[in-house]
Structure 1
Amino acid sequence: MADDNKPKKGQINIELDADVAQGIYSNLAIINHSQSEFVVDFVSIMPGVPKSKVKSRIVLTPQHAKRFLKALNENVSRFEKNHGPIKENNQPQMPINFGPTGEA
């Protein structure tokens, strides 16, 4: 029975810390890229508050960004199959002052 807990060949053991499991709310994602990476900044914007901070930044290789896009598309499709279409609200374009831009 003790061998049941050992990872099988090719299997990855992933831990989720309690503080990370809480998650971070985001209602805006800003995506930039260079030749070697994609950078996704997650922001929480609140109505009437003129300034917001990046809550989390994820840096991905182009290959991983493409796999992430595919996985997200598959999950949205499954969600819509179970719960109906996700309605896209047309929101006015917000000017975002994000500081200087650069390339890595």
Structure 2
Amino acid sequence: MARRTKRLWTDEEKRSICFQTAAPGVSVAQVARRYAVNANLIFKWLRDPRFAPDPASVPGPSEEARFLPVEIVAETKAPAAEPVADNRIEIELAGGHRMRISGSYDPEALVRLIRGLTA
């Protein structure tokens, strides 16, 4: 049976992990799974002022949320003789990820993929 060794985290790693827990919509459990560490250990680090994220450095909802102009127009049917344009979506996520989807897609699968990339 393999013996587990205790993982030693540097102060910078602890700060980075604790900072990630302060992002909107992110739970401590998600961050713990990402680093294969017990969530209770992260909670312990968060109580330590050396590692707790500074509220001023955490991006607020106003910095992440962006409202885009939307125009609602009456539905028009294209003539059958014209070819239908391909469905294309391009999504740019925080962290530098970019997704390009062409053709038909499963919206639920797309949501799971986006959540997986942003978790």
TM-score range, shorter chain: under 0.3
Structure showing the higher helix proportion among its residues = 2
Give me the TM-score of the superposition, normalised by structure 1.
0.22
Q: TM-score of the superposition, structure 2-length normalised?
A: 0.20
Q: Structure 1 or 2: larger strand share?
A: 1
User: Which structure is larger by alpha-carbon Rg, 1 or 2?
Assistant: 2
